[in-house]
Amino acid sequence: MIDYSKEYTVLIADDDEASLVILFGILSPWYHILTASSGAQALSAAQEHSPDLILLDIVMPKMSGFEVIGKLKESAITEKIPVIFITGLSDPGSEENGLNLGAVDYIIKPFNQAVVRARVNTQIKLIEQMRMIEQIGLIDPLTKIANRRGFENRLNAEWFRSRRESQPISLLMLDLDDFKTYNDTFGHPQGDLALQAVAQALSDELRRSSDFAARWGGEEFIALLPNLDSAGAAEVAERIRKRIETLPMPGDGGAEMSITVSVGLYSVVPTAEMSIGDSIKQADRALYRAKESGKNKIAISKQIADE
């Protein structure tokens, strides 16, 4: 276990005092711990202290964990804080609901110390990587999201984590339709504003803190969706496509026009025989098919359909 010298803060929210004591004992040697015994206390602590990670019980009186995470995502201060649900519920429906609301992981009661530490440590490592990206210049200067190198670093880490845990990972390759025509018509300054607006829309629609967007190059973007299969990734892709289609862009004579995007989707559970480079190629091939089929569409890699 890495010694983080309590650089990171973890908020544990659970109405069961015994669970709080157990989790405090497991994590306090490495992290600064805050505790809350209700949903309202959790929201207040999150707003005041901006913890790096929240462990959130689902079943609590007055306000459930599902309600709490919904309110966290509504606030600009707390929307990006990763949330791990801690719960005695083991049915797939509850887990699916939690992940759809933006949780990054689940820890099932009764607690296994090794599992708790490993799952928390994984999220802390992701937080470290995000901070490293900001520190070593892996941000695209125009759009202020990750650049290609930053994305490759993040994908590499998520790929091997997904392979180790046998979890799906999805890639979205996005390309603005007819952007050269738009750029030539309205000029590069306006084109730059369009790219910035698209990057912001893409980031907004990636609602889980584990999701990751980057500018791949030119008018092409890429998104990483860990722990999400092709069906879930297709829903995210469609949400992004619709959002970009409705972005207001200046046209002739001050009139507004729209920019559309084509999306290629590839989803897989990585194995030792697979390569990261091939996964990007699969997403890129799907993008090509989306363009060939009329643009402003989503195409899923044929490899998924064949599986």
Q: How far is CA 204 from the centre of its chain?
A: 10
Adjacent-strand bridge partners of 267: 170
Active site residue 219: yes
* DSSP per-residue letters across 203-223: HHH--STT-EEEEEETTEEEE
Active-site residue, from 219, 235, 256, 307: 219
Distances (CA, A) of 202 to 77, 148, 212, 236: 19, 15, 10, 10
- Residue entry with tokens 């004591």: 21
Q: Is 108 helix (H, G, I), strand (E, B) or coil?
A: strand
- Which uninterrupted H or E stretch holds 41? helix 39-49
Contact 301, 266 (CB under 8 A): yes
- Residue entry with tokens 């989790």: 23
**What is the token pair recorded at 68?**
């709490």
Helices (H), 101-178: 113-135, 148-165
- Which uninterrupted H or E stretch holds 195? helix 188-205
Q: How far is CA 289 from the centre of its chain?
A: 25
Ramachandran sector of residue 102 (left: φ over 0; alpha: ψ -120 to 50; beta: rest): left
Handedness of CA 63, 69, 70, 72 (dihedral sign): positive
Integer Cα distance of 107 and 89 in angstroms:
10
Eight-class DSSP state of 111: P
- Number of Cα atoms under 13 Å in the Cβ half of residue 186: 21
Q: Do the bridges between strand 53-57 and strand 83-87 make them parallel or antiparallel, or are there none, so unpaired?
A: parallel
Catalytic site residues?
Answer: 219
